[in-house]
């Protein structure tokens, strides 16, 4: 006889590891409560996800859907990290062809709930046809989702006078309190093609708008102690349940067994003074241009600070735009800095006492990982929602944004060096370090995170359709 007290939850994240990893983190937290998770993705992505601990393996079931082939999508490119940013359109086209396989899968699985990402704007229709309760799980924070606004602003931009990149640099009219959270002009220009779409591509804003309009509930990676005013904006504009599920912090143990890579990194970090090292990383899907890389490198050199840089020279095999360090850079900084071009255990590095600051792209997972250890943030955005995240962190004095030219986003090695020294060592920037330590209690609180998951599950249990 089935245990009707336990939930069976299907999860379908977007094909980006910046999405799949926090989704998997939520899946683990739910599985620890004894509920069953059906985690759906493509074959290659599932094979690349971190391995489950034995105590969770019987609760989380991975289901592989073959990714349909589309023209211009390279073979084996199943995640955004396999492609250059400009080619992600093709991955979305392939993803949209999963509608029929997904419908058949859900018919056979008959879960209590299905949660989907912003890209699967077509999935609510399928869920309604099959009478499955369904929700949008947003890894975008409450501030980001609040800035984007109601479905009408996302689907019919012209009706809200949102026609040019400049229109996205202003405070939205649906936000009732003063805020600086908005794109800078160069950030709006970089994402404008995903805001508008074209004849062959559904825009990201349309996807988000339709997903928000059609879902039963919105589960969001946020907490009421960090930006509660933005959660109220979401409740006001969407008029449906908005449930914060916490920040989903990872732990140093989530990376699996200690590896030879971590051993040599730890040996180097152990030799550095406490709070002196700048950790530099831009996530799995962000990559600076060659010009930006050069300025970052010379900025690190000019700063005089020890650094550990995890550098991705290309995003994946299909990314032909290789970036290279300036000639002689590694020789000039030998002994003071390390450049690692392979995988590195970010959480373990950030947990090390020698790390004093983090030069980051502002991806929210990286921000959470840094703040749970009280690491000060220097922010250098690349694309997507990173500019909005950086603005909120700067507004709260939690992070310092590297000064840039508003029109094209260019910056200098001097601005990089000055920003790093300000945040990591100078007296004038001490409050950034103090604020980051203050956030440690909020972002690293396991008991608080556990309570968010309990509240979320209580809602799902009371609103499922008992079959």
Structure tokens at 271: 């030799």
- Cα–Cα dist 356/279, whole Å: 8
Select from 174, 203, 168, 172 the least CA-distant residue to 187.
168
Number of Cβ atoms within 10 Å of the Cβ of 443:
23
Span 103-125, average pLDDT:
97
β-pair type (277-281, 355-360): parallel
pLDDT in tens, 205-244: 999 999 999 999 999 999 999 989 999 999 999 999 999 9
**Per-residue pLDDT tens digits for 401-436:** 999 999 999 999 999 999 999 999 999 999 999 999
Please list the residues that pair with 242 across neighbouring strands. 218
Domains of the chain, by residue range, sit at: 8-249+445-462, 253-443
Decide if 167 contacts 205 (C-beta within 8 A): no
Kindly tell me if the per-residue pLDDT of 255 is higher than 50: no
* Residue range 316-365, pLDDT digits in tens: 666 667 788 889 888 888 889 989 988 899 999 999 999 999 999 989 99
Whether the CB-CB separation of 165 and 192 falls below 8 Å is answered with yes
Domain 8-249+445-462, architecture per CATH: 3-Layer(aba) Sandwich (3.40)
pLDDT of residue 271: 94
For residues 66 and 42, the answer to whether their CB atoms sit within 8 Å is yes
Residues 6+ apart with CB under 8 A from 372: 247, 249, 440, 443, 444
The owner of tokens 């300000």 is 422
Is there a contact between 422 and 222 (Cβ–Cβ < 8 Å)? no
DSSP H stretches of helix in 316-429: 329-332, 346-351, 364-371, 386-395, 413-424
The pLDDT, as a whole number, for residue 150 is 95
- pTM reported for the whole predicted model: 0.92
Tell me the fold of 253-443.
Rossmann fold (3.40.50)
Band of the pLDDT at 83, cuts 50, 70, 90?
confident
Q: In what order do the strands lie in the sheet with 217-220?
A: 60-65, 36-42, 8-12, 113-116, 134-138, 217-220, 242-244
């Amino acid at each position: 006889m089935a245990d009707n007290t336990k939930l069976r939850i299907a999860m379908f994240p977007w094909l980006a590891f910046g999405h799949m990893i926090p989704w998997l983190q939520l899946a683990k937290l739910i599985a620890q409560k004894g509920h069953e998770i059906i985690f759906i993705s493509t074959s290659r992505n599932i094979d690349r996800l971190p391995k489950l601990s034995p105590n969770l393996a019987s609760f989380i079931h991975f289901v592989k859907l073959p990714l349909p082939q589309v023209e211009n999508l390279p073979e084996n490119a199943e995640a955004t990290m396999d492609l250059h940013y400009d080619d992600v359109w093709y991955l979305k086209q392939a993803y949209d062809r999963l509608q029929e396989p997904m419908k058949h899968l859900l018919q056979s699985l008959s879960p209590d709930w299905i949660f989907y990402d912003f890209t699967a704007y077509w999935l609510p229709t399928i869920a309604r046809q099959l009478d499955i309760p369904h929700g949008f799980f947003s890894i975008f924070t409450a501030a980001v989702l609040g800035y984007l606004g109601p479905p009408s602003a996302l689907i019919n931009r012209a009706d809200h006078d949102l026609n040019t990149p400049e229109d996205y640099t202003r405070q939205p009219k649906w936000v009732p309190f003063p805020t600086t959270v908005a794109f800078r002009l160069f950030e709006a220009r970089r994402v404008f093609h995903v805001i508008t779409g074209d004849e062959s591509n559904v825009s990201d804003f349309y996807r988000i708008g339709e997903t928000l309009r059609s879902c039963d509930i919105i589960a969001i990676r946020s907490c009421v102690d960090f930006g509660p005013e933005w959660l109220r904006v979401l409740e006001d504009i969407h008029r449906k349940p908005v449930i914060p599920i916490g920040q989903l912090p990872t732990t140093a143990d989530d990376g699996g067994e200690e590896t030879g890579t971590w051993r040599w990194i730890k040996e180097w970090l152990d030799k550095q003074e406490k709070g002196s090292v700048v950790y530099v990383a831009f996530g799995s899907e962000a990559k600076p241009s060659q010009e930006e890389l050069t300025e970052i490198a010379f900025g690190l050199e000019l700063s005089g600070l020890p650094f550990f840089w995890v550098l991705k020279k290309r995003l994946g095999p299909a990314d032909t735009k290789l970036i290279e360090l300036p000639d002689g850079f590694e020789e000039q900084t030998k002994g003071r800095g390390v450049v690692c071009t392979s995988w590195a255990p970010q959480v373990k590095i950030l947990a090390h006492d020698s790390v004093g600051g983090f030069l980051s792209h502002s991806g929210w997972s990286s921000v959470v990982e840094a703040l749970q250890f009280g690491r000060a943030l220097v922010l250098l955005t690349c694309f997507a929602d990173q500019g909005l995240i950086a603005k909120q962190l700067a507004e709260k004095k939690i992070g310092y944004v590297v000064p840039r030219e508003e029109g094209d986003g260019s910056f200098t090695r001097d601005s990089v060096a000055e920003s790093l020294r300000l945040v990591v060592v100078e007296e004038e920037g001490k409050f950034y370090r103090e604020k980051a330590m203050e956030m440690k209690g909020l972002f690293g609180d396991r008991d608080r995170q556990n309570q968010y998951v309990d509240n979320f599950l209580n809602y799902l249990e009371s609103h499922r359709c008992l079959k």
